């Protein structure tokens, strides 16, 4: 199980590194969302530790805190870049778009 987790973290770090370089470090925040990003403080902590060299600093207390609202700050104040957790509800969004745009129903 640990090996699978380590490989998963490595893949996430690869994506972060790639986009960080592509964007020349000009980013507003790193956002964790979806099932595991939203619910796994262990994953967020591990990723946060690994990307400190890029100017991210995770706040352990904020990271462990139960989510209140849609977006929660988990980075330390004064860090170069923000770290956020965002609740997502893809099924609700799809339903909302269908209500707004009847063409999405098809024939």
For 66-77, the pLDDT digits (tens) are: 988 899 999 999
pLDDT higher than threshold 80 for residue 59: yes
Select from 29, 23, 58 the least CA-distant residue to 43.
58
The answer regarding whether domain 2-105 maps to CATH 3.40.50.720 reads: no
pLDDT higher than threshold 90 for residue 95: no
Give 105's pLDDT tier (boundaries 50, 70, 90). Answer: low
Structure confidence at residue 104 (pLDDT)? 65
Check the CA dihedral 42-47-49-55 and report its sign.
Answer: negative
The set of residues, in sequence order, having a beta carbon less than 8 Å from that of 30 and lying 6+ positions away, is 16, 51, 56, 81, 82, 83, 84
Q: From edge to edge, which strands make up the β-sheet containing 82-86?
A: 29-33, 82-86, 71-73
Structure confidence at residue 24 (pLDDT)? 98
**Listed range (25-34, 42-51, 72-81, 92-101) with the worst mean pLDDT:** 92-101
Please state, rounded to an integer, the average pLDDT across all residues of the chain: 92
Phi and psi at 61, nearest 5°, equal -65, -45
């Amino acid at each position: 199980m640990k090996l699978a987790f380590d490989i998963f973290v490595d893949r996430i770090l690869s994506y972060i590194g790639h986009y960080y370089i592509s964007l020349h470090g000009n980013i507003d925040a790193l956002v964790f969302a979806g099932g595991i990003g939203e619910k796994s403080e262990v994953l967020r902590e591990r990723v946060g530790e690994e990307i400190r060299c890029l100017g991210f600093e995770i706040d352990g207390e904020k990271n462990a805190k139960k989510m209140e609202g849609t977006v929660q700050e988990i980075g330390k104040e004064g860090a170069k870049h923000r770290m956020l957790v965002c609740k997502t509800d893809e099924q609700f969004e799809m339903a909302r778009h269908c209500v707004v745009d009847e063409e999405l129903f098809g024939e």
